Amino acid sequence: MLQQKRFTALLSKLSMPLVLSGLALAISGNVQATQIPEAVNFTHKDWDLVCDNTLTCRAAGYSSDDTDPAATVLITREAGVATPIANRVMLADYDGETAQNNPGTPLLLIDKISQGPLSTVDGDSWKMNDTQFSAFKQALLRDNTISFKDNINEYLFSGAGSSAVFLKMDDVQGRLDTPDALIKKGNASEANIKPAVAVPVIVKAPVVDTDSRDMTAEEVALIKPQILALKGSTADCDEELLAETWQIASLNSEKSLVTVPCWRAAYNSGDVYYVIRNDMSIPPLVVTDSATDYEDGLLSFAIKGRGLGDCWSYQQWVWDGQQFVASSSGNTGRCRLIRAGGAWDLPQRVTHTVPQE
């Protein structure tokens, strides 16, 4: 339950309003989601990079696999000239016991020398000030020993892979060899630095049924044979699950959403979702071959990286009146027992959803 609550809290940020520029891209029923720029994902050793479709980049570094307890650092930078670099630090407390024992304010240590206490962010994470972050970055590049220390534990941190990830971040944002680069600074023109891409806007259409219901015998007789006849659509689904009850939700007067049970594992599951014409005059269209929930025009998928629930991936689609448009996707970082429900929110796709007027 704790794992699910934290993951839900992380994903609740997806519904918060985003600051939009006047050039935000509206997505209508005739515009395919593929027009949204694709995310950039890059991993090297103990560091990961995710740059979303707005060109905001997030680099997450971790303690090495054999380090216990572990720490993680998130570095976030939006695209554009002279944008600030934000950092956050999270120390492992998967079961919440450390917080109950008054660990105090952690210190940043470089080669065992204290760089001073961190500043609290939200009671769950910390941040380095500008001086500390500069020392931290230099320590990464010089392969110094980095750790964080509170009243209970010392958390050894890994710089392995950070240089490659920082270079990739600068490359994605067009900062390489400019004075604004994260690590490889130079005299190249800052005109090469890419501006932020506007957050796409999806207009969410109202739906008839906010929840799915079990299909009637008549609906099963009309719809099920046609879906099963589609080549490859349910080929990998469990035969026993396909025999279970299918569900349907009316989207508008012409189209409905059909839920087909597909697979179940030890701690995850997934269903296939189809948009159909109510008269079945054209073949059903697959929205996704693995999702977990439908509610009020929103189709979503959340999956644990492992049974401990310390890492998740997610996706969401929004009904725009014609089709389900991919609206968000991402993950919560590596499975390192940092937090139940995951440590960070590393979005790959971000959009802003507004109701149809």
User: What does the pLDDT read at residue 233?
Assistant: 87
Q: What angle do CA 82, 86, 91 make, to 5 degrees?
A: 160
Residue 146, domain member (yes or no): yes
Residue 176, domain member (yes or no): yes
CATH number of the domain residue 118 falls in: 2.60.40
How much is the mean pLDDT over the chain? 91
The answer to whether 115 touches 127, Cβ cutoff 8 Å, is no
Integer Cα distance of 71 and 90 in angstroms: 6
Reported as a single tens digit per residue, the pLDDT across 165-209 is 999 999 999 999 999 999 989 999 999 999 999 999 999 999 999
Looking at 161, 192, 223, the residue that finishes a domain is 192
Quick one: 175 and 211 in the same domain?
no
Give the CA dihedral 336, 342, 346, 349, nearest 10 degrees. 130
Task: Decide which of 176 and 36 is more confident.
Answer: 176
Estimate to the nearest angstrom the gap between the alpha carbon of 224 and the chain centroid: 33
Reported as a single tens digit per residue, the pLDDT across 311-340 is 999 999 999 999 999 999 999 999 999 999
User: 15 pLDDT exceeds 50?
Assistant: no
Reported as a single tens digit per residue, the pLDDT across 77-126 is 999 999 999 999 999 999 999 999 999 999 999 999 999 999 999 889 99
User: 239 pLDDT exceeds 90?
Assistant: yes
Quick one: 75 and 169 in the same domain?
yes
Quick one: 114 and 185 in the same domain?
yes
Residue 10, domain member (yes or no): no
Question: Pick from 289, 337, 294, 284: which is nearest to 319 by CA?
Answer: 294
Q: Six-digit token pair at 348? A: 């790959």
The reported pTM is: 0.90
Integer Cα distance of 262 and 271 in angstroms: 5
Integer Cα distance of 276 and 253 in angstroms: 11
Quick one: 46 and 181 in the same domain?
yes
Residue 24, domain member (yes or no): no
Quick one: 184 and 218 in the same domain?
no
User: Which domain, by its residues, includes 177?
Assistant: 38-192
Quick one: 225 and 185 in the same domain?
no
Quick one: 58 and 188 in the same domain?
yes
Integer Cα distance of 232 and 234 in angstroms: 6
User: 2 pLDDT exceeds 80?
Assistant: no
Residue 272, domain member (yes or no): yes
Q: Six-digit token pair at 176? A: 């390489």
Quick one: 77 and 174 in the same domain?
yes
H-helix or E-strand spanning residue 110: strand 107-110
- Percent of the residues in the chain that have a pLDDT greater than 90, as a whole number: 87
Looking at 162, 192, 222, the residue that finishes a domain is 192
Quick one: 253 and 286 in the same domain?
yes
**Burial group, residue 102, by CB count within 10 angstroms (0-12, 13-18, 19+):** exposed
Residue 209, domain member (yes or no): yes
Q: What angle do CA 311, 74, 110 make, to 5 degrees?
A: 120
The answer to whether 254 touches 278, Cβ cutoff 8 Å, is yes
Q: Classify 59 as helix, strand or coil.
A: strand
Looking at 171, 192, 213, the residue that finishes a domain is 192
Quick one: 101 and 224 in the same domain?
no
Q: How many domains does the chain have?
A: 2
Which pLDDT band, with edges at 50, 70 and 90, does 26 fall under? very low
Q: Classify 304 as helix, strand or coil.
A: strand
Q: Six-digit token pair at 182? A: 């994260």
User: 13 pLDDT exceeds 50?
Assistant: no
Q: What angle do CA 317, 320, 321 make, to 5 degrees?
A: 130
Quick one: 143 and 63 in the same domain?
yes
Quick one: 252 and 149 in the same domain?
no
What is the DSSP code string of 213-250? Answer: EEPPHHHHHHHHHHHHHSTTTSTTS-HHHHTS--EEEE
Q: In Å, what is the CA distance from 157 to each residue of 41, 152, 224, 343, 351? A: 22, 16, 54, 15, 33
Residue 16, domain member (yes or no): no
Ramachandran sector of residue 63 (left: φ over 0; alpha: ψ -120 to 50; beta: rest): beta
**Burial group, residue 93, by CB count within 10 angstroms (0-12, 13-18, 19+):** buried
Backbone angles phi, psi at 241, to 5 degrees: -70, -35
